[in-house]
Structures are given as C-alpha cells and as structure tokens.
Amino acid sequence: MAGSVNKVILIGNLGKDPEVRSFQNGGRVCNLRLATTESWKDKATGERKDRTEWHSVAIFNDNLVTIAERYLKKGSKVYIEGQLETRKYNDKDGNERYATEVVLRQFRGELTLLDSRGGGGGGGGTGDSGGYDDAGGGMSSPSSSGGRPAARPRKGDMDDDIPF
C-alpha cells in the first residue's frame, strides 16, 4: 500500500464562469472557483447558519477543459475529484506567493456535471446528469465504453414490450 494519499473530492457550485487559457505548446487549462457550503442550526439561538469555503480548481486534461468550457457556467453544480497541489509564483510586485489548488490532470481527475441537461446555472437537478470523466473524455456511466457518450434510456423509452 502507498505511504500517503493526495485526493480531494468536492461537490459545489461555480462562483463564476470557467476561464480557459491556451499555452504556447497548444495545451489548455481551465480555472474554476468552486463554493462548498456547510449549513447547521445554532443550538443556542436556533437560527440557521452557513459557512462557505472557496476552492480554486485547475483542469489540465484537454477533454475535461472542453466539457467545462461547453457546459459549465456560474452557478453550475459539479462533482470534482483531483489532488491538491501548491505552486509558488511571484506577484506583480515581485513578492513570492503560494497558491494551493485542486488539480485535475490527464488520467488523474474527474469532473461530473450534476445539473440537469437543460438547466445549467444553479439548478441542481438530479435527473439525467451529464457525468464526464477523464479516462476517455466521454460520458461516465456503466454502459459507456471507448470514450463515447452512452445513450441513456428516457422514461418513455421503457414502454416497449420486452420478451423476457
């Protein structure tokens, strides 16, 4: 067994539209700001309280960048699975700064859209979600193979006479 594990799983909403940038070598990165909110009832006052954490996410898998660019927007609910990475950079004044972010790299991350197909932007629907992973860049479902989208049966499609 490995001596350590670096894995982050988050479910939250985007705080703004995805930002996609291209590198000189042709690669792309998508940066997301993801909010996760914890809610509880204060025992002393009985009032409802919330605490929101903001997470920086960087996607380096080109297939997932395409999915994020196409289908995500401010308010979209997503499931993110990646790893924490801290990088050092110099700000505009030349001071050394550190940034820790959740990173999704090729074959080491997952992005699942949790909104319903027609209702991106904060809907949070549970039906017919588009799950995408980075293994093949296609829809993630038990019936998918070869990185191609799987055809999901709709409720009306199940009315056929089945011989068994």
CATH architecture classification, 8-159: Beta Barrel (2.40)
Q: What are the pLDDT digits (tens) for 65-110?
A: 999 999 999 999 999 999 999 999 999 999 999 999 999 999 899 9
Residues 6+ apart with CB under 8 A from 145: none
User: What pTM was computed for the model?
Assistant: 0.68
Terminal C-alpha separation, the chain:
45
Predicted pLDDT of residue 127: 31
Helices (H) and strands (E) in the chain, counts: 1, 8
Domain boundary assignment for the chain: 8-159
Inter-residue contact 135 to 112 (CB < 8 Å): no
Mean pLDDT of the chain: 80
Residues 6+ apart with CB under 8 A from 136: 63, 144, 146, 147, 148
Q: What are the pLDDT digits (tens) for 137-150?
A: 333 333 333 444 44
Tokens (6 digits) for 28: 């792309």
Please check the confidence at residue 17 and state whether its pLDDT lies above 50: yes
- Residue 78 Cα distances to 22, 138, 159, angstroms: 23, 16, 32
